[in-house]
Structure formats: structure tokens, C-alpha cells
Amino acid sequence: MKWHGRMDGEDALNRRLFQVVGIEKEYRRLGEDSFFLHGFEVDEGVKRNQGRAGASSAPDIIRENMGNFPVVSPQFRLYDFGNIQCVDGQLEDAQYRLANAVARGLVEKAKSIVLGGGHEVMYAHYSGLKKAFPTSKIGIINFDAHFDNRIPVNQQATSGTGFWQIASQGEIYSLHVGIQRNSNTLKLFDTAHQYGMNYILAEELFFQNLHQLYAKVDDFIKPLDILYLTICMDVFNASIAPGVSAPAYNGMYADHTFMLLYRHILQNKKLRALDVAEVNPLYDIQNRTARLAASLVNEWLMI
């Protein structure tokens, strides 16, 4: 784990991200509203879900593509706590360890970023939020082509079971953005309806509909205490995100409409955690997917 980038100078006007990242082991040193980062070096859930393995190698590559971003505020602080790995296929243990680590940073009033890894990172990240804020109403906005609400087979969690796992433990507050009709069976839509999972279809994301999208997002966030944003990179078109476990020929683009909606969510003060998942460097082309994931994370760092 090493941060690097172009050196233009040490002064505040020339500073880049790699120059200010703190490599940390002590969560108590985090300051209020600082950012703390973990890598989730895991794709066991993708393998169990019959997806293309390889996302476990993504966290360090996403870091490499973050290093050159400019630092836009002298108060900005980002602390990197390294990667959590999956040993001998023990996915649930890796999720448990990430949840505990995330909770330790959140109770210090810092903001959590996780670089996946497969989308099994979502259940772990949410579990950390729940542990840190057990009485709070936590909502999840999920940019994803899939609901990820499958019922586990043989009680084995996968990258596609996280939202069902949360819902089965009690109430779930989720808004899924970018859902594809041809990527979800009627059973998955039915499960979403059964548990009250809100969703916006990919075909609804166009500029003329933006005011309605804003309203739907705002209505979802209004009753929440805490907001968590998770981005599965397979929500995007394969031309800009080829390196994922399930590429989408008809996925969304990171165009003007998407960025306006995305930044609208990032600006909400209730947002306390964000992750990117399913970047698969084995199938990426010129780091397109990793660069896009890095850029999406950086949008929050610049707010």
C-alpha cells in the first residue's frame, strides 16, 4: 500500500492527494469530519455468486488512480487504514472485521470510505454503520444494475445477498438507482416490493426527468438520520466500465445527468459512508473502470 503521484510542490496550492494521506493504525487520532479509508481485498462473494473473480485486487489500483487528484481545502484530512483480506474463503469473517474497523472510525465522527472488492462489501460496511449508530435510522442509496437481494443458498452470503440479509434482520431503508429490467428476475423485483425497497430504473435517468429524480432522492433521505452510498461499478456501460464482474452493454454513463444527481446526493450532510465495488482489474481496459471509481470517490472528497 503506497500512495504516489506527480510532485508539483509542497505548498498548499500545489498539493495533491498522495501528499496528504496519513497511513494510520489508531482510530482515536481521527478528527471530526476527516475521511478514513479501508480497502476490502475480497471477492469471495463474487465467486459464490458465479461472477468473474478478480475484484480483490482492486483497492490498491484504485488508490493509484486517486493519488494525483488535487487537494482543494487546507482542512482536508484522509487517513488510510490499509486492506482487509479474506483468508481461506472465510467471507463472513472478513465482513465482520471490516464492520468493526468501520465502526471504530465512525464513532470518532469521521467519514468512511471503502474501496472494494466485490459488492459483498456493502453488507459489511452497513454493519459497521449499524454498530456505530445502533439506534439511528440508516438509509442506503445503491447505484447498481442489480437489487442484490437474493436469498442465500445453503445459508451462504454472496455479493448478491446483502440487501436481503439486511431486510431479514428488520426494516430496511434503501433506494436502488440504475436498476436494469433485463438484469433482475421477477422474483428479485418481487422481493424488493415485499421489503419496501425503493428503486429508480436506469431508463429513468435522463435530463428532462432530473427534477423528479431529485424529488425522489430527497423524499427518501428526509426521514433518515444517516445516509450511506454504495456504488456497484456494473451500473455503468461496459464502454466506460469494462472491468467489472458483470459488464452491462446497456448500462448508464457518467454523463451530465448522472453527475448532477450524484453530486446532489454527495452534498447531503447526512452522508457518512461511501464505497465503490466490483472493479475488476483483470478485465479492465486502460484502467477505465478504476479511474472512474477513483473519480467518483474523489467527488466526495472535494465537497
Query: Peptide bond preceding 117: is omega within 30 degrees of 0, i.e. cis?
Result: yes
Determine the residue type at 262: Y
Confidence band for 155, pLDDT divided at 50, 70 and 90 = confident
pLDDT at 12 > cutoff 80: yes
Q: What is the mean pLDDT of residues 230-245?
A: 97
Residue 7 pLDDT = 96
Residue 2 pLDDT = 78
Alpha-carbon Rg for the chain, nearest whole angstrom, is 18
**How does pLDDT run across 180-201, given as a tens digit for each residue?**
999 999 999 999 999 999 999 9
* CA–CA distance, 31 with 34 (Å, rounded to integer): 5
Any binding-site annotation on 119?
yes
Residue 293 pLDDT = 98
Residue 259 pLDDT = 98
Q: Residue 141's beta-bridge partner residues?
A: 175, 229
Q: What is the DSSP string of 229-250?
A: EEEEGGGBBTTT--SSSS-BTT
Domains and CATH numbers, the chain: 17-301 (3.40.800.10)
Residue 81 pLDDT = 97
Edge-to-edge, what's the strand order for the sheet holding 35-41?
Answer: 21-23, 78-85, 35-41, 111-116, 271-277, 226-232, 138-143, 174-179, 198-201
**How does pLDDT run across 129-144, given as a tens digit for each residue?**
999 999 999 999 999 9
Helices (H), 69-120: 91-106
pLDDT at 154 > cutoff 80: yes
**How does pLDDT run across 52-68, given as a tens digit for each residue?**
999 999 999 999 999 99
Closest CA to 54 of 278, 287, 247: 278
Any binding-site annotation on 38?
no
Closest CA to 151 of 161, 139, 166: 161
Residue 15 pLDDT = 95
Confidence band for 1, pLDDT divided at 50, 70 and 90 = low
Q: Residue 238's beta-bridge partner residues?
A: none
Any binding-site annotation on 86?
no
- In the chain, DSSP assigns E strands to 21-23, 35-41, 78-85, 111-116, 138-143, 174-179, 198-201, 226-232, 271-277
Confidence band for 248, pLDDT divided at 50, 70 and 90 = confident
**How does pLDDT run across 27-47, given as a tens digit for each residue?**
998 989 999 999 999 999 999
Any binding-site annotation on 144?
yes
Confidence band for 105, pLDDT divided at 50, 70 and 90 = very high
For residue 35, the tally of other CB atoms under 10 A from its CB is 20
- Report the percent of the chain where pLDDT is more than 70: 100
Q: Which three cell numbers stand for residue 208?
A: 428532462
Any binding-site annotation on 146?
yes
- Report the percent of the chain where pLDDT is more than 90: 93
Location of C-alpha cell 466500465? 241
Q: What is the mean pLDDT of residues 86-113?
A: 97
User: Residues near 7 by Cβ (< 8 Å), separated by ≥ 6?
Assistant: 16, 19
Location of C-alpha cell 483483470? 282
pLDDT at 302 > cutoff 80: yes
Confidence band for 168, pLDDT divided at 50, 70 and 90 = very high
For residue 200, the tally of other CB atoms under 10 A from its CB is 21
* CA–CA distance, 297 with 82 (Å, rounded to integer): 16
* CA–CA distance, 125 with 120 (Å, rounded to integer): 9
Location of C-alpha cell 445477498? 161
Closest CA to 57 of 247, 230, 282, 291: 282
- Measured CA distances, 230 to 12, 23, 42, 75, 284 (Å): 31, 24, 16, 25, 20
